[in-house]
C-alpha cells in the first residue's frame, strides 16, 4: 500500500484504484468491478475476507512493469455489487472468475490467491481436475490461508459472525476502529498506518459492505462440507506451485504451513518471518518476487 512503495512504482490510492477499475455484468446480472493494468504474462490476483482487491495495490504496482495484472472485487466486496439479502457462495465466486477471464479473452493465466480467494482458487483447480475449467492455469501462488482446514484457527469474530441471528447482530456493530484492530491483530510487525487503513476502509465500507460480513463468511460452512474435495484438488495440481507464508499469522500461520508442506511436498515455499496474514501488503516485494519465480 502507499506507505510501503514497491519496486515497480508507487501504489495508487484507493480512490485512484477505483477510478482505474471497470465493471462487467455477470450472467446472474451482478456488476463486478475489475482492474487490468500492465503488459506481459497475465496474472489474476484473488483477494480474501473481509477486504477487497486493494489488498494487492503494492504488489500490482511492482508487477505491472512486466505483467498484465488483473484484480477483481468478489460479489459483496469492494466496488462490486453487494446484494442484500443474498446467499453468497464459493461456486458463484469461481463462476465470476471464469466469466471475467472469458470477458477479457485471456489465454493462460497465473493465479495468486489469499484467504477467501484461496478457497475460490481451490474450487477452480477442482474444476480443472474434472476438465470443467474454462481457462488454462499457468501457475499458482498461495498466500496465507487455511488450505488445510483441520489446522484452521478462526478468530473469535469469525466464530460469532457465522452463528445464526447473532452473526447479523455482530455485523451490525462493525465499525472502522474495530475493523482496524481486527486486521492489525492478524498482521505481523507491519501494522496498518492511518492512510493504509483509510484506503482499505474506503472499499470495505462502500455500500455498507462491512455490515454484510455475516453473510459473506458463509464460506466457512461451505469449507466444512467441501474441504476434502478442495484439498484433493490442490494435491492433484501438477503445475508450478509457490506458497508464500507470513509466519506471524495467528489464523493460518506456521501451524497451517506445516500441514501444507505435508499435503503439498512438491510446492516451493517462501517464509516471511515478520509478516502475518497479509503478505501482499506487509511484504509486497517478496510476494512480487515469488510471482516472478525469483
**pLDDT mean values, one per 10 residues, the chain (294 residues):** 48 96 98 98 98 98 97 98 98 98 96 98 98 97 95 91 94 97 97 98 98 96 96 97 98 96 96 98 98 92
**Following DSSP, what letter does each residue of 33-88 receive, concatenated?**
EEEEE-SSSEEEEE--SSS-GGGGHHHHHHHTTTSEEEEEPPTTSTTS---SS---
* Residue 2: predicted pLDDT: 36
**pTM as predicted:** 0.96
Q: Establish if 221 belongs to a structural domain.
A: yes
Q: Establish if 26 belongs to a structural domain.
A: yes
Q: How many angstroms separate the CA atoms of 262 and 266, rounded?
A: 9
Q: Establish if 208 belongs to a structural domain.
A: yes
Q: Establish if 158 belongs to a structural domain.
A: yes
Q: Establish if 9 belongs to a structural domain.
A: no
* Residue 29: predicted pLDDT: 98
* Residue 107: predicted pLDDT: 85
Residue 163, domain CATH: 3.40.50.1820
Instruction: Tell me which DSSP letter residue 276 carries.
Output: -
- Residue whose C-alpha cell is 486493494: 54
DSSP tally for the chain: helices H, then strands E: 13, 8
238 Cβ neighbours under 8 A, 6+ residues apart: none
Q: Establish if 183 belongs to a structural domain.
A: yes
Helix %, strand %, coil % for the chain, to 5?
Answer: 45, 15, 40
Contact between residue 203 and residue 141 where contact means Cβ atoms under 8 Å apart = no
* Residue 10: predicted pLDDT: 81
Closest C-alpha to 71, from 18, 35, 31: 35
Q: Establish if 107 belongs to a structural domain.
A: yes
Q: Give me the number of domains the chain comprises.
A: 1
Give the residue numbers spanning the domain of 97: 14-291
103 Cβ neighbours under 8 A, 6+ residues apart: 24
The strand pair at 22-25 and 31-37 is best described as antiparallel
Q: Establish if 4 belongs to a structural domain.
A: no
* Residue 251: predicted pLDDT: 94
Contact between residue 269 and residue 262 where contact means Cβ atoms under 8 Å apart = no
Amino acid at each position: 500500500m502507499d506507505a510501503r512503495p514497491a519496486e515497480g512504482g508507487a501504489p495508487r490510492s484507493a480512490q485512484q484504484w477505483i477510478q482505474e477499475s471497470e465493471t462487467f455484468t455477470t450472467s446472474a446480472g451482478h456488476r463486478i468491478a475489475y482492474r487490468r493494468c500492465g503488459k506481459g504474462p497475465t496474472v489474476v490476483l484473488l483477494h480474501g475476507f473481509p477486504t477487497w482487491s486493494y489488498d494487492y495495490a503494492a504488489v500490482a504496482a511492482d508487477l505491472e512493469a512486466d505483467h498484465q495484472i488483473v484484480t477483481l472485487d468478489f460479489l459483496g466486496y469492494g466496488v462490486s455489487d453487494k446484494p442484500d439479502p443474498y446467499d453468497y457462495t464459493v461456486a458463484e465466486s469461481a463462476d465470476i472468475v471464469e466469466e471475467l477471464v472469458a470477458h477479457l479473452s485471456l489465454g493462460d493465466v497465473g493465479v495468486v490467491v489469499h484467504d477467501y480467494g484461496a478457497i475460490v482458487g481451490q474450487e477452480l483447480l477442482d474444476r480443472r481436475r474434472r476438465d470443467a475449467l474454462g481457462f488454462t492455469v499457468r501457475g499458482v501462488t498461495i498466500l496465507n490461508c487455511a488450505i488445510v482446514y483441520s489446522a484452521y484457527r478462526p478468530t473469535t469474530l469469525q466464530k460469532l459472525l457465522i452463528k445464526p441471528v447473532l452473526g447479523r447482530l455482530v455485523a451490525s456493530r462493525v465499525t472502522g476502529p474495530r475493523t482496524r484492530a481486527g486486521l492489525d491483530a492478524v498482521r505481523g510487525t507491519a501494522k496498518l498506518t492511518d492512510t493504509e487503513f483509510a484506503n482499505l476502509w474506503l472499499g470495505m465500507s462502500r455500500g455498507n459492505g462491512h455490515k454484510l460480513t455475516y453473510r459473506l463468511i458463509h464460506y466457512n460452512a461451505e469449507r466444512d462440507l467441501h474441504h476434502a474435495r478442495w484439498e484433493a484438488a490442490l494435491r492433484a495440481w501438477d503445475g508450478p506451485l509457490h506458497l508464500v507464508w507470513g509466519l506471524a499469522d495467528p489464523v493460518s500461520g506456521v501451524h497451517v504451513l506445516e500441514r501444507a508442506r505435508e499435503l503439498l511436498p512438491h510446492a516451493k515455499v517462501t517464509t516471511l518471518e515478520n509478516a502475518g496474514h497479509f503478505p501482499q501488503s506487509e511484504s509486497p516485494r517478496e510476494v512480487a518476487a515469488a510471482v516472478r519465480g525469483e
